[in-house]
Amino acid sequence: MSKVREGYKQTKVGVIPEEWEVVRLGDVGEVISGLTYSPKNIDKNGVLVLRSSNVQNRKLVFDDNVFVNVDTLKFNPVQENDILICVRNGSKSLIGKNALVDKENEGVAFGAFMSVYRSQYNVYMFQLFDTRIYKREVHRNLGATINSINGSDLKKFKIPLPPLKEQQKIAQILSTWDNAISKQEALIKAKEQLKKGLMHKLLSGEVRFEGFEGEWEEVRLGDISDIQTGSSNREDSTEEDGKYTFFDRSEDIRTSSRYLFEGEAVIVAGEGQRFLPKYFIGKFDLHQRTYSIMNFKKSIGKYIFYYIWENSNYFLAQAVGSTVKSLRLPMFKKMKIKLPPLKEQQKIAQVLSTADKEIELLKNELETLKEQKRGLMQRLLSGDVRTDNIKEKV
């Protein structure tokens, strides 16, 4: 057994500074259960009930909301700095996901598959709830047959707790990274919205570049390209022997030990709910219900890619099936598109590609920020790095 360095001690949660404690969540805070309601209680004029779908990437989102009349129900409204936790879900991977409640969302309810953790230490706790220490406790306490954590088990989670002043410093340092990440995410969202608007205007002809004029030609996609599908009896491959890209009938990309196609292509899955295209150059294979648009005539492949992306709702409208939407090859061939002259196509594709590259660069920077924060967080919340040692750097 390796020797514990001076100033640290071995505990049940690992090696931590001597002045830190190991506590149970229930010793320093309370776990509050969610609201049980029935379909008859749902009322669009009622109180918002936060559910698992309202927690995404450790933030509250409001894309899928349920409102409940609570006149005859007893519920505990959330308070600022409560940590909302998913404690029961059909997907085991979602158990334990959490978000911090801000001042703006005080007073709403939360559902029976959720719990709230409330303590005076929650600004620190929220950072801790994104570490291996917390995730290990979640995994250890998952039900054997039901994907859930009950309140009594949640209270028993063991966590390291520094003195209050060090907690505050840790939270402050990590909040600086959180703010930088949030700003980067907002910048990416703004750039994506700008690109979306630009793409619509350019691909509809609403906005033209200087020097280009005249009517665009309306053509069928099958007349300006070759559209092919893959084979049902392709060779599956493992990661070790996979050499070529394989486009599945879903939006997944895998590997194949052979290829049937080579060159520039726009790939569209033949089944799904979105039918967003992919642009590819190289050697590849296809599932039999995936389409490859190739050998472009009077057209630029990248322009076709962007045009299909902008008009993907048209594909969805043409798809058949109730549970699984499926597209047919004749529909692809007959799809009408507006085709500018080659030089204008090239210019449109170039501008949109530049926008994509800028967004991709911003996303890479975001991932770097997240990775840096994860590394620092793990070391700070285990006491491996002390706040006084990094104060000047932050």
Give the pLDDT confidence of 74-97 residue by residue, as tens digits: 889 999 999 999 999 888 889 999
Q: Find, among 32, 20, 25, 19, the residue nearest to 122 by Cα.
A: 25
Cα-Cα-Cα-Cα dihedral sign, residues 358, 359, 361, 365: positive
What pLDDT digit, counting tens, does each position of 340-378 carry?
A: 999 999 999 999 999 999 999 999 999 999 999 999 998
What is the Cα–Cα distance from 363 to 353, expressed in whole angstroms?
15
Q: Give residue 393's pLDDT band: very low, low, confident or very high (50, 70, 90).
A: very low
Phi, psi for 132 (deg, rounded to 5):
-65, -30
Q: Give residue 392's pLDDT band: very low, low, confident or very high (50, 70, 90).
A: very low
Is the pLDDT confidence value at 236 over 60? no
Cα–Cα distances (Å) from 112 to 109, 307, 366, in that order, read: 10, 45, 34
**Given this model, what pLDDT does residue 233 score?**
57
Percent of the chain with pLDDT over 90: 68
What is the Cα–Cα distance from 268 to 266, expressed in whole angstroms?
7
What pLDDT digit, counting tens, does each position of 137-164 carry?
A: 998 888 655 688 888 999 999 999 999 9
What is the Cα–Cα distance from 143 to 134, expressed in whole angstroms?
16
Predicted model pTM = 0.83
Lowest pLDDT segment from 17-21, 36-40, 86-90, 313-317: 313-317
What pLDDT digit, counting tens, does each position of 110-130 carry?
A: 999 999 999 999 999 999 999
Strand partners, 16: 9
Q: Which domains does the chain have, with CATH numbers?
A: 8-161 (3.90.220.20), 217-339 (3.90.220.20)
